[in-house]
Structure 1
Amino acid sequence: MNKLGVHALVWAGDLTPESTRKVLSSTKEAGFDLAELSLHGPKLMDLSLTRDLLQEYGLEVGCSRGLTFAADVSSEDAATVARGVAMLEEAITITSEIGGKYFGGILYGAMAKYSAPVTKKGRQNAIDSIKHIADFALKKDVKLGLEVVNRYESNLLNTASQALALIDEVGAPNVGVHLDTYHMNIEESDFMQPVLLCGDRLAYVHIGESNRGYLGSGTIDFSQFFHALAMVDYKGVVTFESFSSTVVNEELSNALAIWRNLWDDGMDLAKHAREFMAGGINAAAKAKAHH
């Protein structure tokens, strides 16, 4: 069975000590194995407290973030690229210091709607930056996942095949693909081919509904996706991600266009998601065994 995770924004919009305790105790109470912490505004974090709480609740941790236009490694401007690299190094250091082994997200550019395609030089800057941070992360035993997101959040990686091509050029052993069903639903032709294409280079998975609300309340074909994970024998983490205007992160919520309230009760949402994911993964595994 895969380890199941839940994104911290189901519980709280920041990582102050009080919020961190809420995030981790709630993650445990809802039955998850891992908490994914979004490092947007990491200055609030108390790293030793976070590490202690993770141990107290017996949880694993993964971290994620996206970059901004002011710190965009796919920019043509060297100073902007350098700011992006520094931001990623800080995030990898935080991940490592709290005992995490995985850092993913939009590590290759700004999490934003671009007004033009990526330039050749910008793409090369992104590749060089990822090479650099992959080396930095390897020394800290952290694996990186390049999250494939929709056209309104990146102009560089919108499909699994684009991500795999970029990773080929990076050529680092600790960089893989991070697939998210919410984004796949917008950009991919189905939920099977991208997973099969990634194979053992699939590093991490986000489960999100088409409207980012309750799983099963939208249009995503989760059955097909879970079958694909079983077919490639994916052993990694499967993390639930959902956003509502009920829980707001100043940097992240507006960037993700969370304008509507899709739920009020994070615990009900998360417990439902855990059952839904575990059920789907188990059903696909049994189908594969009897195939």
Structure 2
Amino acid sequence: MARPVPVDLACQSAAFTTDPFGEDFARCLPVLRDAGYRRVVLGPLDPSARGVEALGHRIHDAGLAPIAMAVQSLEANVMSGSPQVRRLGFEQLRRTVEMTARLGGDQLNGVPYGVHGDASSRPAERDVTHAAQLVGDVADEAAALGIMMTFEVVNRYETSVLNTAAQAVRFVELSGSRNLRIHLDTFHMALEETDPVAAVAHALPHLGYLELGQSSRGLLSTGALDLAGFLAAVRDLGYTGRYGVEGFSRPLMQEPVADALRIWGTTFTTGEEFVRDAAALFA
């Protein structure tokens, strides 16, 4: 068994499989636990899906905690200019919070502020304000249940809403919530930030989750990003919150998910290879 990782570390389960109800997912849980991880990040789930409670028990019985993910759709979107569609988006987020509680999770990640993959045009300022206020209200409801709600800042090819830490901080300020937290990811920051460490410093008062991903979306030890140097720098800033690692390899994913994330190649052969490589970064 590996030495415990000296941080509160999560792994995106897509490194093993994109089906959380299958046997490949069940087999990945002891691998993560034995490699020193404390949490496993799930992909988007239907809040009304059967088996959510059983999934939560399976994760907890393995000695891990789940992190759920919030999403929006064209029909239910807090960023919409339509009050009815905004309301449906708000209710969708609230159901996802309730689902997270049923899972026994205390963290909800994702892109709750709009439709992930819609980067065709900039939203109107009034729509950003509406979205921030609604997401902030949901974050407050989540906090009352002991759940930290974060929102991920992703690159320009995945959203036109929030691409930088500065935009994320402003979104928190617009929300009016003291409970909404920012999720930064090195893969996206490498595309959007001129200085990723300075971006973390700017977001630090609101930063709840810091995720490490390589330029290739594969093994963290191979790629264009100096993740060891970045990690040392953000520790020097005083960040002591939760970390995550993320990697994708097409043969391990369901094809529609791989297509949606534009994962075309084989970047590692097994999830165990990825998690042990990533854990070494924190040793």
- TM-score clears 0.5: yes
Give the distance between the partners of 1:130 and 1:117, measured in 2 at CA: 19
Q: Residue 114 of structure 2: SS of its match in structure 1?
A: strand
Q: How much does 1:4 deviate? A: 1.3
- Mean CA deviation greater in 205-214 or 232-241: 232-241
- Mean CA deviation greater in 164-173 or 118-127: 118-127
> Which residue pairs with 2:149 in the alignment?
144
The alignment status of 1:219 with 2:227, answered yes or no, reads no
Give the distance between the partners of 1:124 and 1:203, measured in 2 at CA: 21
Give the distance between the partners of 2:52 and 2:71, measured in 1 at CA: 20
> Which residue pairs with 2:193 in the alignment?
188
1:9–1:192 Cα change, 3 Å: same
> Which residue pairs with 1:154 in the alignment?
159
The alignment status of 1:3 with 2:8, answered yes or no, reads yes
Q: How much does 1:164 deviate? A: 0.2
> Which residue pairs with 2:270 in the alignment?
265
> Which residue pairs with 1:229 in the alignment?
234
Q: Residue 42 of structure 2: SS of its match in structure 1?
A: strand
Unmatched segments (≥5 aa) in structure 1: 280-291
Q: How much does 1:35 deviate? A: 0.8
> Which residue pairs with 1:80 in the alignment?
85
2:172 pairs, out of 136, 150, 167, with 167
1:257–1:138 Cα change, 3 Å: same
2:39 pairs, out of 34, 39, 42, with 34
Q: Aligned pair count?
A: 278
1:86–1:251 Cα change, 3 Å: farther
Q: How does 1:234-249 map to 2 (within 5 A)?
A: 234-249=239-254
- Residue type matched to 1:235 in 2? T
> Which residue pairs with 2:3 in the alignment?
none
Kept in 1: contact 2:72–2:114 (CA 8 A): yes
Give the distance between the partners of 2:149 and 2:28, measured in 1 at CA: 23
Kept in 2: contact 1:17–1:49 (CA 8 A): no
Q: How much does 1:150 deviate? A: 0.1
Q: Deviation per CA, 1:146-188: give whole Å up to 9, x if none.
A: 2110001111110001000110111212111101000001000
1:15 pairs, out of 10, 20, 30, with 20
Q: How much does 1:209 deviate? A: 0.2
Give the distance between the partners of 1:82 and 1:247, measured in 2 at CA: 36
Per the normalisation by structure 1, the TM-score is: 0.88
Kept in 1: contact 2:42–2:69 (CA 8 A): yes
Q: How does 1:251-290 map to 2 (within 5 A)?
A: 252-276=257-281, 278-279=282-283
Kept in 2: contact 1:111–1:255 (CA 8 A): no
Give the distance between the partners of 2:60 and 2:228, measured in 1 at CA: 34
Give the distance between the partners of 1:190 and 1:196, measured in 2 at CA: 10
- Residue type matched to 1:57 in 2? A
Per the normalisation by structure 2, the TM-score is: 0.90
Q: How does 1:129-140 map to 2 (within 5 A)?
A: 129-140=134-145
Give the distance between the partners of 1:251 and 1:164, measured in 2 at CA: 33
Give the distance between the partners of 1:120 and 1:200, measured in 2 at CA: 24
Identity of aligned residues (%): 27
- Mean CA deviation greater in 10-19 or 106-115: 10-19
> Which residue pairs with 1:63 in the alignment?
68
